[in-house]
Chains A and B, each alone.
Chain A
Amino acid sequence: MMSKPITVLVSIDSNSLLLGARHFKNYLNTLVENYNLSSMVEILETGSFGDYGRGVLFLVLPDDVMYSAKSEADIEKIVLEHFLKGRIVKDLVIAEFDSGGSVEASESSNEERIVLRNAGSIDPRNLEEYIALDGYQGLAKALRMTPEGVIEELKKSSLRGRGGAGFPTGLKWEFTQKVRSDEKFVICNADEGEPGTFKDRLIMEGDPHSVIEGMVIAGYAVGASKGYIYIRGEYFESVASLRGAISKAYEYGLLGQSVLGTEFSFDLSVRLGAGAYVCGEETALIESIEGKSGRPRLKPPYPPVSGLYDKPTVVNNVETFACVPPIIDKGAGWFRSMGTQSSPGTKVFSLCGDLVKRGIVEVPMGTSVRDLVHKFGGGIPNGRTLKMVQTGGAAGTFIKPEEMDAELDFDSFKKSGASLGSGVILAIDETHCAVDIAKNLMEFFAHESCGKCSPCREGTRVIVHILNEFSKGRGTVEMFNQLYDISDTMEESSFCGLGQSVPIPLRSILDRFENEFLSHVNSPVCPVGVCKFDKPEKKKR
C-alpha cells in the first residue's frame, strides 16, 4: 500500500471542510510538486479523525505524527521542515504516537472503536482499503451461516438500536425473518436530524462500506432482496460518499445478483429526505420513501410485519448497521466484552456546545457524562462554569453538573434520569438562560410537529406561546404549572414518538430550573440577562 516513503493522510469530512481541508490539501499538493517531492510523498484523503476545532488534521506516516494546520503557512512549514529536512514541526504537532496505535487511543486511553474502526485510517472511497482491514469478512462469514444462525449471533450479542430507542436488533430481525412474504425490505435510517447529532454523517463519510455491509447481512438474515438508505437531502457529502461506495460494491459483486457468488441477491439505493424531523420516526420514514408526506402510521402493525409497501421491513440506524459486520466476524462474545451488561458495545457521542474539544468520540457504553464533558470534551472554555448538559439529543434530558456521574446506556434514563438517545452531549454554560434554551428547543418541536395529531400540533404551539411570555417577563405561576399539564397530555395521547417525547426535555429543564423560571415572573429582569422583557408595566395579567 505504501509505495512512496512518506504518506500523508488528510482528514476530509463535512466538519473539516469547513476549516478549509480541501483547500489545504490542494495547497499541500502544489507545494509537494513545486519542491519535486511527488515521488516521495503520497497524499491521501481519509475520513474524519473524529477531532475538530484545532484545524485541519494531517497524519504523516510512517512517522505517525499528527499535525494540525490552520493556515497555508503551516502547510508550508510542514513541507519545508518535515518532508525536506526530516524535522518534526513541534508546534503544529497534536499527537505523536507509536505505530499501530490509533490517534484517539493515544489521546484518550479508553476510547474503543468499533463503529469508527476505519474512519480516519482508510480512504473511504477506496473499497480495497476497507477489504484490507477485514471489510466484508462479516458478510462472507454470514453467507456461510444460516439466516437463523446470523440472527442468533446478533441476539447473543445483545446489540440494541443506536438510533435512540434501543430496541434489540436481533429480535427485530427475527420478527421480520419469521413473516412470510414474497418481498421484504431493509432500510437504513440516515435521516440524521437530531439537533446536536453528527455521528452518522461521520460514519457515512468516513466508512460507508461498513453501513452497506451491515445492510447486506441484514438482507440475508431476514430474506430481503432490496434495501434503501434514507438520507437527509442536505447531507451532500454523505450522499456522494454512499453513492460512490454503492457503485463500487456493485462492481465487486458485493451487491446485485448473487452476492459473493452465492444464490443471495441484494440491491441497494439511496433515497433523499427533504427536511422533516418526523421522518426519523420509522413509519413516517417509510411513508416518505413511498414518495408521500412523512406522516407516521398507526402502530401496530410494526414495520417488521408491515412496512414499506406493506411488506415486512427492517429499519435500523446507520450506527447500528455499522456494528453488525464486526459482531458477525468476531462473535457475540467479543462484542459483549465491552460496555455494560444490558447495553454491550460502544456508543458514538457527538460532543457540542460550550466545550473546549467539540467533535466525535466512540467510547464503551456506560461512560459517565462527567468523563464525556471533561476528559473527552476538555471541559468548559473561557473560564466559565457549566450550567447544564443536555444528553441524548433534542428529545433528551437536561441534567445539572452535580448529576454528571450518570453513566450513559440504554437504561440510564430509568436509573438516573439522563438519556442516552442518539448520543449527544450538549454542554451549556452559565451565560445561557434556561427559559431561552427551553424556548429555542420547543420552537424546534413546534416547527417539526407534522400536524397529524392535535396533542402534538397544539401542545407544542401552546408551550412555545407560554415560554415566549416568560421570556418577555409576562409569565405566571399558573402558566408554569400549565406546562406540566400539557406535558402529561402530550405524553399520553400523542400519536407518535415525536409528540410523546417532547415532555422529556421540557419536564427535565422545568424540574431543575424552577427557580430560574419563577424569577422570570417575580423579578424585573431576566436573571442571566438573556431575555429582553417588555419594558412598561410588567405582569399586568
Chain B
Amino acid sequence: MTRATFVAFLSHWWRNKLQLAMLLAGLALATALWSGVQALNTEARAAYATAEALLSEDGAAQLEHPSGQMAQDRFVELRRAGWLVSPVLEGRADLGETRVTLIGIEPLTAPPGAGPALAAQDLEGFVAGTGFAHPQTLREIGTSALDLRPSNAVPVGSVLVDIGTAQRLLETDRISHLTVNPDQPAGLRPLNEVAPDLRRIPPGEGAELGGLTESFHLNLTAFGLLSFAVGLFIVHSAVGLAFEQRRGMFRTLRALGLPLRVLTLALVAEMLVFALIAGAAGLVLGHVLASLLMPDVALTLRGLYGAPVPGALQFNPQWALAGLGMTLAGTAIAGGQALWRLWHLPVLAPARPRAWAQASRRGLRVQAGIALALGLVALILALRPEGGLVAGFALLAAALLAAALAVPVLLSAMLSVAERRARGPLAQWFWADSRQNLPRLSLALMALMLALAANIGVGTMVASFRATFIDWLDLRLVAEVNVLPANAEEAARLEPFLAARTDAVLPMLRIDATLEGQPGQVYAMKDHATFRDNWPLIAPVPQVWDRLAAGEGVLVNEQLYRRAGLDPGADRLALPGQDPLPVLGAYPDYGNPLAQAVIALPRFQDAYPGAPVRQFALRTDNPQALIAALQDEFGLSAAQITDQAQAKELSMAIFERTFVITRALNVLTLSVAALALFAALVTLAGMRLTQLAPLWALGLTPRHLAGLELARALVLGALTLLLALPVGLMLAQVLLAVINVQAFGWRLPLQVFPGDWARLALWAGLAVLAAASLPALRLWRDGPAQLLRGFAHER
C-alpha cells in the first residue's frame, strides 16, 4: 500500500515536471536569497569582532585625550603611577600601492589580545619592524619596504606594527590612546586624579562598529526576508496547485482504504524531501550570490562606516543551518494549507476541482478585512515614529502586507467594473473569466505587486537621495583644494605659506567627544563667507552665523539633531570641558555615522588648546598652481592634497556604494516575482483547458485564444503595476521619513521620477509577457489536440 501510495505521488510530478521544477526553484531561490543575505551579515559581523579582538581579547577600556592624541610621556606617567596601560598609535599611511590604517602596539605592555599574540610569535622581529596584515590587504599593498606577514586576525585595510615602527612611518613621537588592562592592581590612585584630562572609554564603545552598522544589516535582513516571502509565494502556489490537481487521486486512495494518517505522512515526507533538496541547492546558490555581492558590501561598509570587512566570503555553518531552517519553516507555511485541506477532504463527495474558486468570494471578504486591520496597524505605527528602526520596519511590513492582501480585492473590483462595461459576448467572457481565475493567480500577483512596489519605493528613495545629495555636495565642497598635514609641525609650517597664497585658509580642527551619549566629534569653524553662503541649515535661529562666530552657541549635524531631538533656540548641548551651549541650528551631514557639533574657531582653541589641525580647506582662483607649489616647496605627497573634483568623486563613489546592494537585491526580487507569475500561469494553463475548449468548439482559433491569454496576463500585470505605484510611493516615503531617519539620522524630501516608472513598466511588461508566453505558445501550438482532451477528461 505504501509503495502504491509512493508511486501514485511520484506519478503526478512525473507528469508535471515543470510544476516540480517551479516548486524546487521557488524553494531554492527563497533559500538562496535569505541565506545569501545572512551570509553577508555573518561575515561582516565576524569582521567587526576580529577588529575588536585585535587589541584586547575581552575588550579593554581606552584612555583618550579630547584632541585625539597625546604625548608619549602620558603613558610613562600613568605606568609610574601603577596603572597598567599600553600605548596605541593609529594613523593612515601610504604603503605600497594603497593607503592603510597603521595600528602600532607595544607588545610588552599590551593586554592579552590577537595583536600582541601575533607580535609574540617573533618579538624581536616585530620590534625590529615586522608587521602583520590581512592577506587581502597584502595583495592591495603589493610590495612595500615593510616586512609584512599574512594574518586573518588583522582587520582588512589595517597593518599591525610595533609602536616604534608606526611612529617612524607616521613621523610622530605621539600616541593616539592608551588601552587599559582589565586587571589592575589594588590601591591605585583613581584615574580622574592621575590624569583628569583623559577620557575613559568603556570597552566596546570605542569601536562602535556593531552599533553603527546595525541599521545596514537590518536593511539587508529586511530585503532578505522580502525575497524569501516572494519565494514562498511560488512554493505556495505550486504546492496548492499540486494539491488541487491530485484531489481526485487523494479521494481515490482514501476510498481504497488508505488511512488519513499515512496519507498525511506521505504528503509531509514529500514536502520534507523537496525542502531538503531545494534547500541544499539554495544554500549553494546563496553562497555564490553572497560571494558575488560581498565585494560591494565590503566597499559599502568601509565607505560608509570605515568598517574593516574583507571582500571575500568564508563558509560559515551558522548561516547555512539558519538558511535551511528557514526553508523548512517556509515549506511548512506554504504546505500547511494543503494539509489542512487534506484533513477536511470529504471522501465521498463528488470531485469538485473548481470548488475553491467558487468559494473564494467569502475568502476575499476575509482578506479585505485583514488588509484593513493591517493598514490600521501601519497607520498607528506611522503616527508614532519614535519607535526605532525595528518599529520602522514593522510599519513597512504591515503596510506592504496590507497592500498585498488588498490586491485581489481591488483587482476583483476593477475587473467587475470592466465586465459591466464590456460589450459583446467575447469581451464579457474575457473579463468574467479573468475574475474567475483571479484567486488562483492572486498570490503570484501579490508577489508581483510587492516586488514592483519595492522597486518603485527603493528607486524613488535612492533617486531622491541622490538629487539631494548632489545639491548638498556642490554646496559643501566649495573649497578648491584640501590639504592634510602629516602632523602638527607640518601644519604649523604650512599655515603662513598658505595664508600668503590663497584667498582663504580654513583650518579644520577636531576632537573626539561623546555628544548626548553618542560617539561623536566636535569641529572648529572659522567665520567665513564660504560657510555663511553655502551651508544649508535646518531650523536655524535668527542671525545664526553671527551668533556662532561670537562663540554664543553650537551647530549640530542632522544626525545628532534628530537622534537627540534637539530644538534649536531652546535646547543646549554639553561639550567636553565646557558649559552646555545653546543649539543654534542643524546642518545636513549625509554619509556620516557619527554625531557632530561645530563651534567657532576661537572658542574651540580656548577650550581644546592641544588639538592639531587635521586639514586645511583652501579657497583659491588657481588650484593647480597652488597644488604644484605645495608639492614642490613642501614635498607633500599626492595623497595629502585633494582638489574639489577628487573630493566630489570620492563622495559620489561612497554614495553609489551605499545602494549597490539595495539595487542588486531589488532586481533579484523582481526576477523572483516574475518567476512566481510564470509558475502560476503555467499551472493554471493546464487546468483551464476545460474552460477554453468550449470557446474553441464555438469557433475561436487556438491562435486567437492564445492572444487572449497573453492579453489577460498583460492586463492583470498593468492593473497590478497601477496598484503598486501608490504602494511604492508610500514605501519610499516611509524609507525617507522613518527608516532613513532611524538608520542614518537624516531625513530627505520625497521627489518623484516618472521616467523611472516608465522604465519599470516596460520591464514589468516584458517580465509578464515572458511569464505568459510559454503557456500561450503551448495553447497555440498544441491547439486542437489539447483542447479536445478537455472534453475527454470527465472531471
- The answer to whether A and B come from one shared complex is no
A residues bordering B, Cβ < 8 Å?
none
